[in-house]
């Protein structure tokens, strides 16, 4: 089992989690592929996306695999008039993570975080642990609490 910075943060905070691993296909880094390999429904796998609001700057959003991020809704809840996904070439510099391994935990900087409301319909959700093919399973409530404790940024 590979221990990542995200897992270390959860351990330090006393959050219950488990690590799930799967073989990565570098040509398919989608949440749907992760769901298929883990034998879980895509709506339980949450992808972490990096956006930029016209007023707030960088915003992090977690949405279920198979769903697209509603940029208008993200702009609205984050106090922006508009939001757009950042170019992939900027993701690593902003988060410290590569494409296909962006974890909401342990980013280089603290950013406002928005978790899709559908997460709270699940007992546990799956997010990236910060390495390709390594996922964390935890309660959506625990994820929100851990992010708030770690970053000091209010999560929704």
Parse the chain into domains and list their residue ranges.
5-151
Confidence of residue 129 (pLDDT cuts 50, 70, 90): very high
Residue 55 CB-density burial (10 A; 0-12 exposed, 13-18 middle, 19+ buried):
exposed
In tens, the pLDDT along 52-67 reads 999 999 999 999 998 9
Three-state helix/strand/coil letters over 22-61: CCCECCECCHHHHHHHHCCCHHHEEEEEEEEECCCEEEEE
DSSP 155: B
Residue 22 has pLDDT above 60, yes or no: yes
- The mean pLDDT value of the chain amounts to 91
Tokens of 105: 């935990």
Confidence of residue 138 (pLDDT cuts 50, 70, 90): very high
% of the chain at pLDDT higher than 90: 75
Residue 30 pLDDT: 83
> CATH for 5-151?
3.90.960.10
DSSP 145: H
């Amino acid at each position: 089992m590979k221990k990542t910075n995200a897992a270390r943060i959860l351990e330090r905070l006393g959050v219950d989690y488990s690590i799930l691993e799967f073989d990565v296909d570098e040509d398919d880094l989608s949440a749907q592929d992760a769901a298929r390999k883990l034998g879980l429904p895509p709506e339980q796998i949450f992808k972490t996306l990096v956006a930029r609001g016209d007023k707030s700057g960088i915003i992090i959003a977690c949405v279920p695999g198979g769903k697209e991020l509603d940029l208008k809704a993200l702009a609205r809840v984050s106090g922006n008039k508009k939001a757009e996904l950042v170019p992939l070439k900027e993701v690593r510099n902003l988060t410290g993570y590569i494409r296909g391994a962006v974890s909401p935990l342990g980013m280089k900087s603290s950013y406002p975080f928005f978790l899709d409301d559908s997460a709270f319909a699940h007992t546990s959700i799956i997010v990236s642990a910060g390495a390709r093919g390594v996922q964390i399973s935890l309660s959506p409530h625990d994820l929100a609490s851990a992010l708030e404790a770690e970053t000091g940024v209010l999560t929704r």
